[in-house]
Chains A and B, each alone.
Chain A
Amino acid sequence: MPLLHVKNMTHYFGGLRAVHNYNLGIEPGQIMGLIGPNGAGKTTIFNLITGIYSPTEGNILLDGNNIIGLQPYQIAAMGLGRTFQNLQLWRHMTVLEHVKMARYSKITYGLIGAFFGTPKRHREEAEIEERAYSLLELVGVQHLAGQIVTNLPYGALRRVEMARALATEPKVLFLDEPTAGMNPEELIQMMQIIRGVHKELGLAIFLIEHRMKFVMELCHYVQTLVFGKVIAEGTPDEIQNNPKVIEAYLGKETVT
């Protein structure tokens, strides 16, 4: 039984069938890639699994438990952490506060602690902070901890989002185009960070990417999505040489 198991998931936006009969199995520690042209439904799949939308049909099991119908915060607390395609950060909060916030569901001091500043709260906040720093260090932005996010460059923000997602202690980390808008140098750095995170924390990763080089180097297994349907899946090598993929996807873009 895979860690995350999606069975025959279909989703309609009104009359538009955005996802059709989608299946997925992610094993612990696996890096799974999802590629496909613009508008194929990749982000929709992320949103469906993380509970933002509820699928029209299908089953989603995490560790064997059905997660359909749960709220996003419940699913996140069960172990699905994510980043967003268009950065979704909190514009008045510092980098450190971002990462601390993602520990919300693990906080035990409760309202009493929050209102009266009990010793338990101070202890717990200090623990959270220490942990947040170590995650920021893992993605290489600990020196920005005190900054408000609106002052930071794009590449740093992507890392902050990643550290924030990691703070939820995910079993599977969902990355929606982690290199969008990055230059080649930042791209290499991001690749190293993802490798480092994977090695350090031993979690499974599910990532959407447009850049082939990135997918081919990182992923153990890749799915190709076109118009909401998986047209091909397999190891990166198999995908790269699959004529259907080349026609539907790679044919239009230069393979970098």
Chain B
Amino acid sequence: MLPGTILYILLIYILPIGIIAKLGASVANKAAAQLLNFPMWVSVIIHLGLLYATLHIWSDINAYRVLILRLTLVAIMLTVSLNVINGYMGEFSCSHPGFMALGAYVTSVFTVFLFVDDKVFGDALLQPTLGPFLFPIALIFGGIVAALGALIVAIPSFRTRGDYLAIISLAFTFIVKSLIENLEFVGGPRGLGSQPDWANLPTVFIWTILCIWIINNFVRSTLGKALNAVRDDEMAANAMTVNTRNTKMTAFLFSAFWAGVAGGLFAHVLRYVNPGTFSLQKLAEVLAMVYFGGLNSVIGSMVGAVGFNLLSEALRPLEIYKWIIIPVMLILVMIFRPTGLIAFKELDIKSIIKPKQKDEKVEIEHAVASR
């Protein structure tokens, strides 16, 4: 089984990608060098457009691919946002499934109530054609409710230094889950379905990019770096004018907001949610992606989420053995790279869009362009 799987991936993906990358490198570098003459955002948009086009074409083949792709993008949002707490701030939070659940349910209730003829919520109140325009508002609303939930966790947890957060946040996840199980109007343990199909690939893609962009901006600013200072030496941070409590609370709410948005998207990708989804297994998954990808690193979390999901798909033919191989790989990463694959590395957009070369000519062009 295993050699067959590896051969398949090698032949279908790695080899062709390698060859195309090799052949296209010089053209791509020249093009990238040209782009340096334009403002940065032009180059960024073009890069993102190409990325999206590739994903779109790849996933167009069947519905399953689109589904996996969207779930992977949601996983990226979850991982990057959890890294803000567990990586950048160095606390151990277990409440991401809880925030996700809040986001998922709030967003779903919002859309189902307003736009769908439903047994429980009655007829649609607004024209479904308005829906896609109001969907972002629903997601943001879900994120805000998740952030309010985070406030409940944050107030007792950040009162004093200590390991309270891990316990309180874990309790929070359980409380949210059982709360939803007991709310009959959202279906209780049976779950809530018939969400409108608005979380299509472009929507999820744009939200993911937005999430990465904003979080990356935050952690690279001096305000965001205060998280690192609080983590590495809170007393010194305090003595250097950093309002440590405020810093922690803000980051926690911020992280929860994105978990809520991701939850909202998640619910609309699957078009069904039930409380059982947001349990310990979900927590283990998100934590694994964060620690596998690398602490204190946005790019690490992206790699972690994509890697974990790809691996899980690629090893699908192995069936039950998959759940031996993936944990073993996680353990190996933990042993050889205790902070994860790509830890403590900044995501620098400039260095991604600029030409990568050993080619002198491009280097000279670059030097000229930057002057």
Interfacial residues, chain A to chain B (CB-CB below 8 A): 50, 52, 71-73, 76-77, 82, 84, 88-93, 97, 100-107, 109-111, 113-117, 121, 125, 128, 164-165, 167-168
Contacts and interface: CB of A to CB of B under 8 A. Distances in A.
A164 B241 CA distance: 11
Please indicate which of the listed interface residues B221, B224, B228, B239 has the most CB atoms of chain A within 10 Å of its own CB: B239
Given A73-B243, A76-B241, A111-B250, A103 B232 contact: no
12 contacts: A71-B238, A73-B240, A92-B231, A92-B296, A97-B225, A104-B223, A104-B242, A111-B250, A114-B221, A115-B218, A165-B240, A167-B240
B344 interface: yes
A107 B214 contact: no
B214 A115 contact: yes
Interface of B: 214, 217-218, 221-226, 228-229, 231-233, 235-244, 250, 296, 344
A50 B239 contact: yes
A50 B134 CA distance: 51
For the complex of A and B, the 5 pairs showing the least CB-CB separation, nearest first, are A105-B241, A90-B232, A88-B236, A114-B221, A102-B240
Contacts of B233: 88-91
Which secondary structure dominates chain B's binding surface? helix
Given A102-B240, A115-B217, A107 B228 contact: no
Contacts of B344: 92
Contacts of B222: 97, 100-101, 103-104, 107, 125, 128
A76 B240 CA distance: 6
A125 B221 contact: yes
B41 to A, nearest CB: 11
Given A73-B241, A97-B225, 11 more contacts: A73-B240, A76-B238, A77-B241, A84-B239, A90-B228, A91-B232, A101-B226, A111-B250, A114-B218, A115-B218, A117-B221
Contacts, number: 107
A60 B236 CA distance: 21
A104 B241 contact: yes
Contacts of B214: 115-116
Contact of A90 (B224, B236, B250): B236
A101 B217 contact: no
Contacts of A116: 214, 217
Given A92-B296, A113-B221, A104 B236 contact: no
Given A76-B240, A82-B239, A93 B225 contact: yes
Contacts of A103: 222, 241
A72 B244 CA distance: 10
B336 to A, nearest CB: 20
A50 to B, nearest CB: 6
Nearest to B243: A73
Given A107-B223, A114-B223, A115-B217, A101 B237 contact: yes
Given A92-B228, A92-B344, A104 B240 contact: yes
Output the residue of A52, A82, A106, A117 with the most chain B CB within 10 A.
A117
